[in-house]
């Protein structure tokens, strides 16, 4: 993350898709360290993977918060997909991620 290059953030985002346990937490922390202008598009691409959001809703919520101040192209369809998960009340973390997406979508 120190280089701040687009290629580095893309590699980290690809690794985040399949990471589990402590590794996923470490990867999300790494993604959050990239400059917003570099990391926004790869974060959007990661959030577009529904399997990632379902498996790591807390991480997804943190990443959505990161996109609050960034200008990202074609973000609305991704946020709408995550917002549709708001009715999965048995998973509070997933509902939280959906609320984050809804707040960003409706601002």
Average pLDDT, the chain: 88
The single-letter DSSP state of residue 77 is H
Q: Mean pLDDT highest for which of 10-19, 51-60, 70-79? A: 51-60
Per-residue pLDDT at 1: 59
Give the tokens for residue 60.
Answer: 């997804």
Instruction: Give the pLDDT band of residue 48 (cuts 50, 70, 90).
Output: very high
> Which of 42, 44, 47, 32 shows the shortest CA–CA distance to 11?
42
> Which of 47, 59, 55 shows the shortest CA–CA distance to 83?
47
pTM: 0.85
Cα angle: 47, vertex 79, 93; to 5 degrees: 70
pLDDT at 23 over 80: yes
């Amino acid at each position: 993350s120190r280089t701040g290059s687009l290629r580095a953030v893309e590699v980290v985002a690809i690794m985040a898709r399949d990471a589990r346990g402590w590794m996923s937490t470490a990867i999300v922390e790494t993604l959050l360290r990239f400059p917003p202008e570099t990391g926004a598009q790869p974060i959007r691409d990661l959030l577009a993977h529904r399997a990632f959001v379902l498996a790591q809703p807390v991480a997804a919520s943190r990443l959505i918060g990161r996109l609050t101040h960034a200008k990202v192209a074609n973000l609305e369809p991704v946020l709408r997909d995550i917002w549709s998960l708001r009715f999965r009340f048995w998973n509070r973390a997933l509902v939280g991620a959906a609320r984050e997406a809804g707040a960003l979508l409706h601002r």
